[in-house]
């Protein structure tokens, strides 16, 4: 693991690191904030998965999480959204595909399968590195994310209910298999058989019997992607048919940007901290 930068903030350490990923077959970069409490004891981990076109840097620079994470004693892990590098396949004129648009799935189709194994990277490879390198209590993990990252957080939590104690999302893509943002990418990554898409689709996972105790979702009602890309009401409808709990908060005048995310970041950190403390 290479240290790109480490800076002190609110008594903790904000670091940016890179390593050679076997899953993605390239060098991957990620950010970790370690609170001051980690000097004395292992701390719970909150994963933040970013959205389309983002890297680890967007939430690190705009998310406004460090002050409260330091107070609550939370390690915040911010992975990249896709493989990077000159050898990595891409569609230069399509921001919804390729670099910056990994969708937290394992691609099966050429040319994407060689590098785009983000599901394995997020669920297997990077957690092993975090657990071995930082003073992280891997028995207490939560997961959250924004947009495409919200999709990733919901789907991963639904498939790993024994690993994660909490899950939330900011403006998630809840049914990517049918959204105009993501369905074309799913076909390119996973092939035309839509039955294989269901394991990366939160609504489909709920319909197929996946269970997680409860979710928190915040959505801005001035979000330009609400009607065709995000459609959180589809997740609400699916959850209503189960015994799972969902706190769905809709906010007038808020859009899809980090102005929205940073406005409610502290609510999410406190929500996760309460559940990770148990």
Catalytic residue list: 147, 223, 256
Q: What are phi and psi of 36, to 5 degrees?
A: -65, -25
Local structure of 268: helix, strand or coil: helix
Closest to 27 (Cα-Cα) out of 48, 51, 55: 55
CA dist., res. 203 & res. 184, Å (int) = 18
Return the number of other C-beta atoms located less than 10 Å from residue 97's C-beta.
23
Burial zone of 89 (CB within 10 Å; 0-12 exposed, 13-18 middle, 19+ buried):
middle
Q: What are phi and psi of 135, to 5 degrees?
A: -85, 70
Angstrom CA distances, 229 to 96, 151, 167, 177, 232, stand at 11, 11, 21, 10, 9
Q: In what order do the strands lie in the sheet with 2-9?
A: 2-9, 12-21, 26-34, 75-79, 43-49, 136-145, 164-170, 214-220, 245-251
CA dist., res. 15 & res. 268, Å (int) = 22
């Amino acid at each position: 693991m290479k240290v790109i930068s480490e800076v002190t903030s609110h008594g903790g350490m904000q670091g940016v690191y890179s390593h050679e990923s076997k899953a993605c077959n390239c060098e991957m970069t990620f950010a970790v904030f370690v609170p001051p409490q980690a000097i004395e004891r292992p701390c719970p981990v909150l994963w933040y998965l970013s959205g389309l076109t983002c890297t680890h840097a967007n939430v690190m620079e705009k998310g406004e999480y460090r002050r409260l994470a330091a107070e609550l004693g939370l390690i915040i892990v911010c992975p990249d959204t896709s493989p990077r590098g000159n050898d990595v396949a891409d569609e230069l004129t399509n921001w919804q595909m390729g670099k910056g648009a990994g969708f937290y799935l394992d691609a099966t189709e050429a040319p994407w399968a060689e590098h785009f194994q983000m599901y394995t990277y997020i669920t297997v490879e990077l957690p092993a590195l975090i657990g071995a390198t930082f003073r992280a209590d891997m028995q207490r993990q939560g997961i959250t994310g924004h947009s495409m990252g919200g999709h990733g957080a919901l789907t991963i939590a639904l498939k790993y209910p024994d690993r994660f104690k909490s899950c939330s999302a900011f403006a998630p893509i809840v049914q990517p298999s049918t959204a105009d943002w993501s369905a074309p990418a799913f076909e390119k990554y996973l092939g035309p058989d839509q039955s294989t898409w269901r394991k990366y689709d939160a609504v489909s996972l709920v319909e197929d019997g996946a269970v997680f105790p409860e979710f928190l979702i915040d959505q801005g009602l001035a979000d330009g992607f609400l009607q065709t890309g995000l459609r959180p009401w589809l997740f609400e409808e699916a959850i209503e048919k189960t015994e799972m709990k969902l706190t769905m908060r809709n906010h007038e005048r808020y859009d899809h940007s980090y102005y929205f995310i940073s406005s409610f970041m502290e609510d999410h950190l406190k929500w996760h901290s309460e559940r990770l403390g148990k």
